Structure 1
């Protein structure tokens, strides 16, 4: 990597994108910087704008307003300069199911490389990365979810990208395949200095993998910082889980809700409370529970990236 290249590889300045059938913009005056050689976790609820943002970055759909700079140079609407150095691994599997894994690698490598030697080298590298063994020569239609995801990642890396966009690359797969993909991403960053933008719903993946985190909701960036800084902020949000001896009454839930920042229930006995400094102390909450004729069987207290995420985006379900 050239040491003279700017630290900021991508700079997004006041990007806006609306869809004709939606009342609110998918991306709303969004600004974001991506630093070279970093893994950036992009978190957001369903419909937050994550996939639309990746589509705008790759030139798959034009932004309505705003500018994007790559290495300090303004990009045009087609994003050709970015496509030349970037790879995209989409959320939906982008493979031909009737072809084998090897045939998929050959097809996509053929689109990217004219030189036969380079094409073969990249196919071999992709096969090694996907680690499919004898399944490499079976039709993709017969692959497990984890095998498809691994091959999907390998195809996204055939062009030797400097910048990789990953859109929920581990959704719906087994823990072993998920761990395999995360380890491969770490390895690529360490060995090649790859810059990665990683969208996911799994907070633990971001905590285990990423250097930076950006939380997006309703098309706006709510938080963008180094992961360590975000986790330090999360410690200011008290996350408490209570397990009650009996079901919580409606009146108890109402009183607890009034005394805390937010409250949610996994069932009638488990309560998740998000406390802030201005909220009621623990002794007050326990007194409310005892007054209602109930008691606490188990109490766990802690904070996480998830607690920070929920404090910023809310706890209401998103369809």
Structure 2
């Protein structure tokens, strides 16, 4: 058991709306950075407690129970080190940091990415953040997704933001380019879980966790659609999986996409534009949240990066060139 004098690495109540859920599912919502098996192991060994106890993972929660996590110490060679990686910071105060992540930057060290990550950069920016889980990262963007995200700078802010994400009060809006011409906007309400065979992928599965994505058409092109997506939940790869599920995968998505869609009579320049866009066309455009200390509602936007703007310009030019056809 952790020493009583030590401050917990995470502390928050189980949201009332989780009432009736299994404890392991509620904990997975509150602590999405950790696998369910790891959370269950911590619950067994006492690193993770619920109202001071260690109930069984299948226990149904009532809502309001206090969750406390004391992360087990890591060996020195497993600790993430500071690296001087540039950050595009949009807003910062004593409690939170909001930044615009470029495509290509991994969130934290893992298999195949031992360093050069956002977590390394955050520790370099403020060494005190090394004490926080994942250096304060509370939600993720995929490596090749660009855009805005919030990072906590204190334990209290981290716990409050994680709880707000679980309660769906954090507003996240994305822009994407999908393959295919959508007739209208809509929403996808389909549970997401690990793919049963390829564990690096996610899939729509009945056994998965609830996932809801709303999408709205911005512009229709000859073979693509520029859409705006709003998340109710934040599952791994959610937008990519959901749009692929309704047969409108993201342009450039090597994991969930399909062959490049080249409209008839496309110019060489347009074909080059599509072929040289080598990531999923997804950008986290807007973030809104209640400040964990002041209680003030705040929102920020991250402009589309240059490669996304060039893609849209190419799609516009192609559409105009064939407007009379």
TM-score bin, normalised by smaller chain: under 0.3
TM-score normalised to the size of structure 1? 0.24
Bigger Rg over Cα:
1
TM-score normalised to the size of structure 2? 0.24
